[in-house]
């Protein structure tokens, strides 16, 4: 009886093995098949835990001695009616580049979509029109700026904020009359969806996990929008004397990092800065001192975090207005290590408000200005070796501003936004910067 039972088990085992082998032969090698998937399909398969849709673009590590920089100005729509692109850049899953164009008259702002594949540029609509369609436009309302980055989330949509500046007063802590709106847009249909209204001016947006974070002034009020539950909540982080950071940072675990500026001791006129880390429940985990955060004695004169770059291991690198670079480590659910890793080339005379991670590991780049001359810098932050390149763009005009972080196309070009002043005229501009030879081929994402 025992022998018969054992023989039956052997037969069943062999049948299962034969069945599984036949199934695998019919389906093919799943790993080999995965290698044949196109990049767009891989991007579409991102799950809700992914911070970005699409993932950041990285290029191979550069050979600094072989780099050549080329720049090209993009003639975006409404540039004659807009006075700047205040770092409001982003990209969608199909590799198209987005710009937020702030209005010259301060009453309206618009989105523009640029396709590097064919060079086409299209208007994606304006804030006031979107409010009107949603039945939310108030009489006389103004939304003159899209200042935030335009960030992608795992649902495939792009998120950003619009804001007003009418009547705001930093010294008195007076908020802008019309406040702000948080938005998302379908990058293909260009349909806008209104997510919420805030009395503060929402100047920065970041994506982390399933959450979208927005930073409002005054007092660095942090807003969190849950893309799954659609809930919006807020908490005040704290700031002093009208200080406003132009960026905030979030990671894939949904942790968010916001600067806090305090007068210590109160009434002393001395100010200290720290980077506050909060978890998705908006509970404060730690506050790390940022010794080189301030650029001037007055907090209101400092732009705080002016550049953000993401690394392959989940770490983040930030550039602060004083020219210092900090790295926010990836540590899962534990508090992140925040450490100083270097300074901009040509410091302390240089100023820059943009940051890009080139290879996802060692090399950073951005635009900097020294004595009113704009340049592109590339640096290996691990060993401090850097190289600075002249920027030919409108070299005859001394009054130029450039901003932007993270936004790159599939060829690895960097995208900046800003403003030029030609006489009394102020124009919104967008710039594509390409690093040739050492960085031409995109090899990993």
Helix (H, G, I), strand (E, B) or coil at 90: strand
Q: How many CA atoms lie within 13 A of 349 on its CB side?
A: 7
Per-residue pLDDT reduced to its tens digit, 92-116: 999 999 999 998 777 899 999 999 9
Residue 400's alpha-carbon distances to 97, 112, 332, 341, 420, in angstroms, are: 22, 21, 40, 28, 5
Alpha helices, DSSP H only, in 191-265? none
Per-residue pLDDT reduced to its tens digit, 121-140: 999 999 999 999 999 999 99
Helix (H, G, I), strand (E, B) or coil at 2: helix
pLDDT band for position 80 (50/70/90)?
Answer: low
129: which 2 tokens? 């029109």
319: which 2 tokens? 């550039």
- Answer yes or no: are the C-beta atoms of 87 and 429 closer than 8 Å: no
Per DSSP, the chain holds a count of helices (H) and strands (E) of: 4, 31
The DSSP result for 5-74, as a single string, is HHHHHHHHHHHHHHHHHHHHHHH--HHHHHHT--HHHHHHT--TT-S-SSPPPEEPPP-GGG-EEEEEEE
Q: Which pLDDT score is estimated for 37?
A: 20
Q: What are phi and psi of 13, to 5 degrees?
A: -60, -45
Helix (H, G, I), strand (E, B) or coil at 117: coil
Judged against a pLDDT cut of 70, whether residue 29 lies above it is answered with: no
Burial 395-405 (b: 16+ CB within 10 A, else e): eeeeebbbbbb
Of residues 421 and 168, which shows the higher confidence score?
168
* β-pair type (97-103, 82-84): antiparallel
Alpha carbons 305 and 406: distance in angstroms, whole number: 14
Alpha carbons 108 and 126: distance in angstroms, whole number: 7
Q: What is the pTM of this model?
A: 0.86
Q: What angle do CA 382, 383, 389 make, to 5 degrees?
A: 100
Helix (H, G, I), strand (E, B) or coil at 288: strand
- Answer yes or no: are the C-beta atoms of 117 and 173 closer than 8 Å: no
Chain-centre distance for alpha carbon 110: 18
- Mean pLDDT computed over every residue of the chain: 85
* β-pair type (151-152, 158-163): antiparallel
Alpha carbons 212 and 225: distance in angstroms, whole number: 5
Q: State in words which class domain 50-444 has.
A: mainly beta
Judged against a pLDDT cut of 50, whether residue 50 lies above it is answered with: no
Residue whose C-alpha is closest to residue 407's, from 47, 132, 73, 95: 95
Of residues 59 and 150, which shows the higher confidence score?
150
Tell me the sheet residues that pair with 420.
400, 427
45: which 2 tokens? 């398969």
Residue whose C-alpha is closest to residue 77's, from 34, 33, 109: 109
Of residues 49 and 86, which shows the higher confidence score?
86
- Hunting for tokens 């670079």 — which residue is that? 325
Per-residue pLDDT reduced to its tens digit, 137-172: 999 999 999 999 999 999 999 999 999 999 999 999
- Sign of the torsion formed by the C-alpha atoms of 371, 373, 374 and 380: negative
368: which 2 tokens? 């900097």
Alpha carbons 135 and 62: distance in angstroms, whole number: 51
Judged against a pLDDT cut of 70, whether residue 9 lies above it is answered with: no
pLDDT band for position 253 (50/70/90)?
Answer: very high
């Amino acid at each position: 009886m025992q022998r018969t039972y054992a023989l039956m088990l052997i037969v069943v085992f062999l049948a299962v093995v034969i069945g599984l082998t036949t199934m695998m032969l019919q389906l093919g090698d799943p790993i080999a098949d995965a290698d044949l998937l196109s990049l767009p399909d891989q991007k579409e398969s991102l799950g809700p835990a992914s911070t970005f849709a699409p993932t950041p673009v990285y290029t191979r590590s550069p050979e600094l001695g072989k780099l050549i920089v080329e720049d090209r100005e993009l003639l975006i729509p409404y540039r004659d009616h807009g006075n700047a692109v205040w770092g409001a850049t982003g990209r969608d899953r199909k590799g198209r580049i987005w710009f937020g164009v702030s209005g010259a008259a301060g009453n309206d702002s618009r989105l523009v979509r640029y396709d590097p594949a064919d060079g086409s540029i299209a208007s994606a609509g304006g804030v006031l029109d979107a409010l009107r369609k949603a039945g939310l436009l108030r009489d006389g309302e103004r939304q003159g700026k899209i200042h935030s980055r335009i960030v992608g989330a795992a649902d495939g949509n792009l998120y950003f904020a619009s804001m007003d500046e009418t009547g705001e007063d930093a010294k008195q802590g007076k908020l802008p009359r019309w406040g702000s709106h948080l938005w998302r847009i379908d990058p293909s249909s260009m349909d806008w969806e209104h997510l919420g209204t805030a009395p503060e001016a929402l100047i920065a947006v970041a994506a982390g996990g399933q959450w979208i974070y927005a930073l409002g002034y005054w007092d660095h009020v942090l807003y969190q929008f849950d893309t799954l539950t659609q809930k919006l909540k807020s908490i005040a982080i704290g700031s002093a004397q009208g200080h406003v950071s132009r960026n905030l940072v979030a990671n894939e675990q949904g942790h968010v990092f916001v600067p806090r500026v305090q007068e210590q001791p109160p009434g002393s006129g001395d100010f200290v800065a720290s980077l506050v880390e909060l978890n998705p429940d908006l509970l404060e985990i730690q506050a790390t001192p940022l010794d080189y955060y301030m650029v001037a004695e007055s907090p209101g004169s400092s732009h705080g975090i002016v550049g953000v770059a993401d690394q392959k291991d989940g770490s983040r690198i930030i550039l602060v207005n004083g020219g210092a670079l900090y790295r926010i480590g990836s540590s899962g659910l534990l508090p992140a290590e925040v450490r100083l890793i270097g300074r901009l080339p040509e410091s302390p005379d240089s100023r820059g408000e943009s940051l890009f991670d080139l290879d996802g590991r060692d090399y950073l780049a951005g635009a900097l200005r020294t004595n009113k001359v704009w340049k592109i810098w590339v640096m290996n932050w691990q060993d401090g070796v850097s190289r600075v390149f002249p920027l030919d763009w409108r070299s005859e005009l001394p009054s130029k501003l450039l901003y932007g972080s993270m936004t790159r196309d599939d060829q690895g070009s960097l995208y900046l936004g800003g403003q030029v002043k030609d006489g009394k005229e102020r124009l919104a501009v967008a710039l594509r910067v390409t690093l040739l030879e050492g960085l031409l081929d995109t090899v990993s994402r």
